[in-house]
Amino acid sequence: MAIVKYWGKHGQQLARNPSLSLTLSEAFTETKISYKALEKVVSGSDAIQLSFTFEGKEEPAFAERIKKYLSSLLPVFPFLKQLDLTIDTKNSFPHSSGIASSASAMSALALCLCSIEDRLFGTLSSDQEFDQKASYIARLGSGSACRSVYGHWSLWGETGEVKGSSDVYAIPMADQVHPAFERAQDAILIVSEHKKSVSSTQGHQLMETHDYASVRFQQARSRLHRLLSALRMGDWEDFGRIAENEALTLHGLMMSSNPSYMLMHPNTLRILNATRKYREVKKVPVYFSLDAGPNVHLLYPESVKEEVNEWIGSELSTYCKDGKVIYDHGGDGPEEL
């Protein structure tokens, strides 16, 4: 879940501004890659031998995207051409509805590919080397995925404020965050499971000619500066203000792009308004964020988890598709199964 958003890219999957996110625990992808040596490698061919299933079913559109991605990685992983690959993958949450499914899927896949490289050639023995390569490879699949190879908080994009930050891979930030943000809660309110009408790829593209583009990229940098300070100081109030502003800015950019589009639903707005009212009346630190879709993330400290979860269940789940809420929190990140 990104707090300062990546929206707008250039070159080979490079972001126009640095971004910072929280890796969640319950919303995850499980990916299994089996591989065996191909009996006959067609020389000079970039064809990837792949059978692919998503949630147990063949999904030609996803398979095509993965195949294209794997062929684009041949300069980095030439051995892929010599393997017969089978990929089975599944998510614990609905895909393509704007809850970072491509970040989750592409980071899982990138981690698997790096594990294969390491098993075959023993080339990624240090953890840092492994993580940075996985993050770099994930980025080439979906920009936001480069942050998801780490648990807890991670930062993608070079900023003079954080040593080691880079445009080509993300870095972990957990050790730079105040204990008040440990196990930050993130309840995902599923307003709609429909595939969104405009993809993030198209959204990034529209930023190229957006009237507000340069101001936006500047704004993201100054919000990141404030966010880093809020995270270091344990300041939930400023953190929440930034999270909400970023969410509304992202959707404002969509609504003001050319052509304009809208991904929020009426129930999204009902939840946002109810959240602000609840916070004001109850004086409880609970804040919203949105990714590129209608579903709402509510962010709050673990210390208020019980009362907030109860309120979500009794007041807000009526705005959700079949009452669906994923009660999630920052987690330790990917696990090799």
Of the residues 8, 18, 94, 143, which one makes contact with ligand PMV according to CB under 6 A: 143
Q: Is residue 246 part of the contact set for ligand PMV (CB under 6 A)? A: no
Q: Where are the beta strands (DSSP E) in the chain?
A: 2-4, 9-10, 14-15, 19-23, 29-37, 49-54, 83-91, 152-156, 170-172, 185-189, 287-290, 296-300, 325-329
Least Å distance, CB 292 to ligand PMV, is 4
Listed ranges 39-47, 138-146, 308-316, 323-331: which one lies at the site for ligand PMV (CB under 6 A): 138-146
> Residue 22 pairs with which residues in a beta bridge?
153
Rg (CA), the chain: 20
Residue 83 or 177: which CB sits closer to ligand PMV? 177
Q: Is residue 107 part of the contact set for ligand PMV (CB under 6 A)? A: no
Listed ranges 3-11, 31-39, 158-166, 229-237: which one lies at the site for ligand PMV (CB under 6 A): 3-11
The closest of 122, 93, 132, 30 to 337, measured between CA atoms, is 30
Least Å distance, CB 148 to ligand PMV, is 9
d(CA 321, CA 8): 30
Least Å distance, CB 127 to ligand PMV, is 24
Cβ(174)–Cβ(151) under 8 Å? yes
Listed ranges 32-40, 109-117, 127-135, 139-147: which one lies at the site for ligand PMV (CB under 6 A): 139-147
Least Å distance, CB 92 to ligand PMV, is 18
Grouping H, G, I as helix, E, B as strand and the rest as coil, residue 183 is coil
Residue 133 or 196: which CB sits closer to ligand PMV? 196
Q: Is residue 292 part of the contact set for ligand PMV (CB under 6 A)? A: yes
Residue 2 or 224: which CB sits closer to ligand PMV? 2
Q: Is residue 149 part of the contact set for ligand PMV (CB under 6 A)? A: no
Q: Is residue 159 part of the contact set for ligand PMV (CB under 6 A)? A: no
Listed ranges 83-91, 126-134, 141-149, 254-262: which one lies at the site for ligand PMV (CB under 6 A): 141-149
* DSSP 8-class letter at 175: G
Q: Where are the beta strands (DSSP E) in 29-164?
A: 29-37, 49-54, 83-91, 152-156
Q: Is residue 291 part of the contact set for ligand PMV (CB under 6 A)? A: yes
Of the residues 144, 166, 185, 289, which one makes contact with ligand PMV according to CB under 6 A: 144
Q: Is residue 142 part of the contact set for ligand PMV (CB under 6 A)? A: yes
Residue 105 or 124: which CB sits closer to ligand PMV? 105
Grouping H, G, I as helix, E, B as strand and the rest as coil, residue 141 is helix
Helix-, strand-, coil-residue percentages of the chain, each rounded to 5: 45, 20, 35
Give the phi and the psi of residue 110 in degrees, each rounded to 5.
-60, -40
| Residue 259 burial (10 A CB sphere; 0-12, 13-18, 19+) | exposed
| Residue 115 burial (10 A CB sphere; 0-12, 13-18, 19+) | middle
Of the residues 5, 196, 265, 279, which one makes contact with ligand PMV according to CB under 6 A: 5
Residues that bind ligand PMV (CB under 6 A): 2, 5-7, 19, 100, 102-103, 142-144, 200, 204, 291-292
